[in-house]
Structure 1
Amino acid sequence: MTRCAVFGTGSWGTAFSVVLADAGCRVTMWGRRAALVDAINATRENPDYLPGVRLPDAVTATADPAGAARDAEFTVLAVPAQTLRGNLERWAPLLAPGTVLVSLMKGVELGTAKRMSEVIEEVVTEDAAGDAAGVRGRVAVLTGPNLAREIAARRPAAAVVACADEAVARRLQTACHTPYFRPYTNTDVVGCELGGAVKNVIGLAVGIADGMGLGDNAKASLITRGLAETARLGSALGADPRTFAGLAGMGDLVATCSSPLSRNHTFGTNLGRGMTLAETIAATRQTAEGVKSCESVLDLARRHTVDMPITETVVSIVHDGKPPLVALKELMSRSAKAEGH
């Protein structure tokens, strides 16, 4: 059986472990809390993140990162985006030689404005003192409209597996293809990652609008113009424009902006209803990646002189304390432009 390591026992890491096991892989999950690891092994479910979902027998958990990484053909990274670098610096010496590094994370690193694959390449290359191009060929990204609770319940879903090396993408595609989970391959890592990172920010914006009761026209407008922002940034970074019309772009954006299972949408809805940032963080409990990544996405856009007004508005509400109604008026009063702008 194909050996897979999944670093992270949150909802998405757990759900993808189910997918891998259902596809015929043997999976070892790593978790930082020994109590949760013990509970997963004893009860065959993740009581903190996916209670009620029975894990396949091919899934086990450990608090030992070396044990999880040993002989893994695929090493899946499913930790919060802003913790990746610190965690991976500790794990890199433990990784199996030649393992394919799979990012499930949808964020941009604060301070560096680097995508998750760039962080992985940088850390792993530094550790191995190897060739960056060689590492890049075994860094893959899995993204798309992938709400963890639905996938763990084995409801039909599709995704994109992206890697600069198409053969590696096809290997990962085979490793996670099940009757209910249909992965497509892509070599546009930049576009796939940007689609996943920016959709969290737009999900916050749509959630805020829903919390304010602004209606479906506002929602549709934010989704559409949010996709335009994403595509503009992607174009500046060399992404394939077609990526944003697919699962990693429009597909993921629609799921995040329309589902109550989306943490970013839920977070934004609470802000739009008048909750403070601290109250919203306490109510959401799980990580809403867009809360931190909105700043780094805006940083990335400014470094490439890309105009992203919705992202800028989200940052002003979430981090600058601007009242949503004031931010809305400022956004709507921007000068009129041609749609292709």
Structure 2
Amino acid sequence: MSNLADFNSQLTITVIGTGAWGSTLANLARAKGHRVRVWSRRSGDCLQTALAKADMVISAVSMKGVRAIAEQVQQAEVPSQTIFVTATKGLDPDSGSEQQLPLLPSQIWQAAFPSHPVVVLSGPNLSKEIQQGLPAATVVASDDMAAAETVQFALSSSSFRIYTNPDTLGVELGGTLKNVIAIAVGTCDGLQLGANAKAALVTRGLAEIIRVGTHWGAKPETFYGLSGLGDLLATCNSSLSRNYQIGYGLAQGKKLDEVLAQIEGTAEGVNTTQVLVKLAAQQGISMPISHQVDCLLRSEITPEAAVEALMLRDYKPEVH
């Protein structure tokens, strides 16, 4: 199969990860008539069998599992034309320095499979809504536009619209960094601070995302698209968001471990906050909201004190 073969052809698609997002993507692929296999480390199935003759491999595992899964797939035989699609939003905690961005999921997959195209899928995609057939849109980004278009046509439907974007870094960072802001917004709502405070927090949060994203080389306009502002709005306005639930729970006086135990699946914002704040401090990037979220997650500050710290910052122009 060439990347730009017959877009109506039936593909063999392997989905790695059986959580809510992996299951949703598998269902989207099945609805388009593709041959779909689903695999996870817990299933006990043979990975080599799941990967046999795969035209596309979609990874929908948590950030902490990406490196191990990529290494495991490396040990199997993967067809030379296979496209890898990553649907994970997070930062690798075991990489990054004062000069270097921590690795993103796509970079881990690309390092493992340098001769294969890697595509990032990211956007305002609450899996429960998509499972209900409600309309949604997302973005696929890659250095290989032919591969991105193959994924676009393979998963698009009348209720799930997919756009392409060549800014892989920006698309992936937008979906990753908004999880930190979602924790802050959940805290804001949990404290019942009102619509004005929430609007200010989301807006300044977007500015923070753009600041770090452009510092690391992404295009600023990408963050105003679906994978940036779109994902931020969806995550900050729905109780279905796991990261929003964390902030809301902390504002109710619950401990982080207690909140995490009540959430289905992985809230990537916790790990992302820790990695992001450390790197931002090393590189001199101002991220006041993320810093307060980090202090809150570490139980170094109360939700009320975190809000007060943001409101009492020095006066400055909005744009500078």
TM-score normalised by the chain length of structure 2: 0.91
Correspondences of 1:129-148 after superposition (within 5 Å): 134-135=115-116, 138-148=117-127
Runs of 4+ in 1 over 6 A off after TM superposition: none
Identify the residue that residue 257 of structure 1 maps to in structure 2.
236
Deviation, 1:166, is 1.1
Q: Which of 129, 134, 139 in structure 2 is aligned with 1:160?
A: 139
The match for 2:66 is: 84
Give 2:149's match in structure 1, choosing from 170, 189, 197. 170
1:246 is matched with 225
Percent identity over the alignment is: 40
Give the 5 Å matches for 1:157-306.
157-306=136-285
SS of 2:75's equivalent in the other structure is helix
Pick the aligned partner of 1:118 from 100, 107, 118: 107
**Alpha-carbon deviation of 1:124?**
3.1
Question: What secondary structure sits across from 1:6 in the alignment?
Answer: strand
Q: Please say which of residues 302-311 and 174-183 is displaced more in the overlay.
A: 302-311
Contact 1:236 / 1:304 at 8 angstroms: preserved in 2? no
In structure 1, how many angstroms separate the alpha carbons of the residues matched to 2:279 and 2:73? Answer: 27
| Aligned-CA RMSD value | 1.4
Is 1:72 equivalent to 2:54 in the alignment? Answer: yes
Aligned residue for 1:109?
92
Matched, 1:322 2:265: no
* Secondary structure at the counterpart of residue 297 of structure 1: helix
**Cα distance in 2 between the residues matched to 1:340 and 1:22:** 46
Whole-Å separation in 2 of the counterparts to 1:234 and 1:6: 29
Corresponding residue for 1:52? none
Q: Which moved more, 1:279-288 or 1:70-79?
A: 279-288
| CA apart distance, 1:20 | 1.2
Structure 1 unaligned segments of length 5 or more: list them. 35-61, 126-133
* Match of residue 4 from structure 2: none
In the TM superposition, what whole-angstrom CA distance separates every residue of 1:16-53 from its partner, at most 9, and x where no partner exists?
1111111231110102223xxxxxxxxxxxxxxxxxxx
Give 3-state SS (helix, strand or coil) of 1:193's partner.
Answer: helix
State which of 62, 80, 83 in structure 2 corresponds to 1:100. Answer: 83
| Per-residue deviation, 1:173 | 0.5
Deviations 1:201-256 (A, max 9, x none): 11111001111111111111111111101111111122111111110011000000
The CA deviation at 1:83 is: 1.5
Deviation at 1:320, TM superposition (A): 4.4
Q: How far off its partner does 1:327 sit?
A: 1.7
Q: CA deviation at 1:87?
A: 1.9
Structure 1: distance between partners of 2:279 and 2:47: 32
Q: How far does residue 326 in structure 1 lie from its aligned partner after superposition?
A: 1.6
Aligned residue pairs, count: 304
What is the match of residue 128 of structure 1? none
* 3-state SS in 1 of match to 2:24: helix
Helix, strand or coil at the partner of 2:213? helix
Q: Which runs of 5+ in 2 are unaligned?
A: 1-9, 96-101
Which stretch shows the higher mean deviation, 258-267 or 63-72? 63-72
Q: Take 1:17 and 1:64, find their aligned partners in 2: how far apart are those partners?
A: 18
What residue is the counterpart of 1:29 in the other structure? 38
Instruction: Give the 3 Å change call, closer, same or farther, for CA 118–24 of structure 1 in structure 2.
Output: same
Shift of residue 272, structure 1, vs aligned partner: 0.9
How far the C-alpha of 1:303 sits from its partner, in A, is: 4.3
Equivalent residue in structure 1 for 2:128, among 146, 149, 161:
149
